[in-house]
């Protein structure tokens, strides 16, 4: 199978894997591992304000004040009992929008993070494009790394130099150093969320594979 | 030739290339390209205070107030006439200390940056270890990238997975995105030094190869 990666979904790849490792992908994976029923990604805080149900909200790294939960896997872990069985509505700066964009191009859209790397890799049976959330249209090294990590586990053939670079990076450099040393990692550390950075750098913590279908992210 | 990379100098490598791409390496390369006679790296701001001569000083990303110049290649470009022919004394948070540590292990110590990548690569005729300044003992992606970039130009055989990863990263990902997206790049942007980040991501701007000999960095 061919694998590509980048900040945009690419035509010609059946599967899209959305990667926003710090933190939307990791938050979604954790929510479903805690047996939330579904996550509904929305595209703006205004939409989030109007929904009736539990909410996850973040803008520019900070929790939206009217949201029930932040975009934080470790916050969700502390509220595991509340989340079980719930459908959660979610907005984040980059991640939820990336899911909606990927769904316009790819037949199948999965959510990938280091937390569920092996589980996602085992589901990739067709040509796959990793769609990285990045940061304001620029590469975010933690997303490139995570895309490369999953692509390598899946045994994909890189379609371009960028993807080959990501796969080698993920093989040769330690996840936690890359995540802590990243721009996003630094911003989160400054905001007192180093715990999230360390958690998101863990590999294969969960086995759930979130898939986006008909407006909702559910466990596959 | 074998090439290694990491945060520490390694025994068994004749040449050490010190890389602190944002910004000490780039500042030194620029100073010598502007025909400064030499740079004397010191290990503390206290030492810098006692010297008699022009000084370059930075701690934690900020110019030391009593220093004549900041750790900034673009600042030096604006003072080109003052610098020509001078011996400058220099302290930075990581870079100058990394030079002194490398000199304890390697027979020959060069200073590498993207600004002089091809020039440095052309001088590497023996087994080479890239000594990355990093950030508080952690990987800094701009240094790993720069080490990989020069190693690849030199046609080195990577001695380990980390170095192979660095070389592939430098081949597949764009320098400016990696530099701007890095933790250090973000801190510099916040401090109004985006201009430095963009300048340091330029490749082969200069041909000078700084070498550390007898306590001073001079053009080879």
Please report the pLDDT score of residue A61 as a whole number. Answer: 86
Please report the pLDDT score of residue B135 as a whole number. Answer: 92
Chain B: closest CA distance from residue A137 (Å): 10
Quickly state the pLDDT bin for B174 (edges 50, 70, 90): very high
Please report the pLDDT score of residue B45 as a whole number. Answer: 94
Chain B: closest CA distance from residue A6 (Å): 10
Residues 105-164 of A with CB under 8 A from B: 134-135, 138-141, 144, 160-164
Please report the pLDDT score of residue A118 as a whole number. Answer: 98
Residue B171 forms contact with A (CB below 8 Å): yes
Chain A: closest CA distance from residue B183 (Å): 4
Q: With 90 as the cut, is the pLDDT of residue B94 above it?
A: no
Instruction: Give the ipTM.
Output: 0.93
Q: How confident is chain A (220 residues) per 10-residue block, as mean pLDDT?
A: 98 98 97 98 94 94 94 97 97 91 97 98 97 94 98 98 98 97 96 97 98 96
Chain B interface disruption, residue of A144, A161, A168, most B CBs within 10 A: A168
Contacts of B183 in chain A (CB under 8 A): 181-183, 185-186
pLDDT in tens, A71-124: 999 999 999 999 999 999 999 988 889 999 999 999 999 999 999 999 999 999
Please report the pLDDT score of residue B61 as a whole number. Answer: 86
Residues 32-71 of B with CB under 8 A from A: none
Rounded CA gap, A39 and A214, in Å?
11
As a residue count, chain A comes to 220
Please report the pLDDT score of residue B60 as a whole number. Answer: 87
pLDDT in tens, B11-55: 999 999 999 999 999 999 999 999 999 999 998 999 999 999 999
The β-bridge partners of A63 are A58
Please report the pLDDT score of residue B95 as a whole number. Answer: 82
The β-bridge partners of B87 are B38
Q: Collapsing DSSP states into helix, strand and coil, what is residue B46?
A: helix
Rounded CA gap, B146 and B126, in Å?
19
Domain boundaries B2-211, CATH class: alpha beta
Residue with tokens 């790394």: A145
Domain with residues A2-212, CATH architecture: Alpha-Beta Complex (3.90)
Contacts of A167 in chain B (CB under 8 A): 168
Contacts of B160 in chain A (CB under 8 A): 172
What are the residue ranges of helices labelled H in B154-209? 161-172, 175-180, 183-190, 194-200
Please report the pLDDT score of residue A77 as a whole number. Answer: 97
Please report the pLDDT score of residue A182 as a whole number. Answer: 97
Q: How high is the mean pLDDT of chain B?
A: 96
Burial class (CB in 10 A: 0-12, 13-18, 19+), A220: middle
Q: What residue segments make up the domains of chain A, in order of their start?
A: 2-212
Q: Collapsing DSSP states into helix, strand and coil, what is residue B178?
A: helix
Q: With 90 as the cut, is the pLDDT of residue B168 above it?
A: yes
Say yes or no for a CB contact (<8 Å) between B173 and A144: yes
Chain A: closest CA distance from residue B158 (Å): 11
Rounded CA gap, A168 and B103, in Å?
30
Residue A190 forms contact with B (CB below 8 Å): no
Say yes or no for a CB contact (<8 Å) between B165 and A168: yes
Among A18, A21, A19, A7, smallest CA distance to A188 is for: A21
pLDDT in tens, B124-151: 999 999 999 999 899 999 999 999 999 9
Residue B186 forms contact with A (CB below 8 Å): yes
Chain A: closest CA distance from residue B160 (Å): 8
Residue B183 forms contact with A (CB below 8 Å): yes
Encoding tokens for residue B86?
Answer: 């001078």
Determine the average pLDDT of the residues in B72-87. 97
């Amino acid at each position: 199978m061919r694998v590509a990666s980048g900040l945009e979904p690419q035509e010609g790849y059946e599967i899209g894997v959305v990667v926003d490792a710090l933190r939307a992908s990791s938050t979604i994976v954790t929510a479903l591992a805690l047996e939330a029923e579904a996550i509904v990604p929305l595209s703006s805080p205004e939409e989030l304000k109007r929904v009736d149900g539990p909410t996850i909200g973040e803008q520019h790294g900070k929790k939206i004040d009217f949201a029930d939960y932040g975009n934080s896997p470790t916050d969700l872990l502390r509220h595991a009992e509340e989340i079980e069985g719930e459908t959660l509505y979610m907005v984040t700066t980059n991640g939820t929008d990336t899911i909606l964009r990927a769904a316009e191009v790819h037949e199948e859209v999965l959510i990938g993070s280091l937390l569920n790397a092996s589980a996602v890799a085992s589901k990739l049976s067709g040509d796959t494009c990793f769609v990285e959330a990045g940061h304001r249209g620029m590469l975010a090294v933690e997303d490139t790394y995570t895309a490369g990590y999953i692509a390598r586990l899946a045994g994909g053939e890189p379609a371009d130099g960028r993807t080959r670079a990501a796969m080698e990076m993920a093989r040769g450099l330690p996840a936690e150093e890359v995540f802590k040393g990243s721009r996003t990692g630094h911003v989160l550390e400054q905001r007192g969320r180093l715990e999230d950075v360390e958690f998101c750098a863990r590999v294969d913590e969960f086995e759930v594979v979130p898939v986006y279908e008909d407006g909702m992210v559910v466990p596959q």
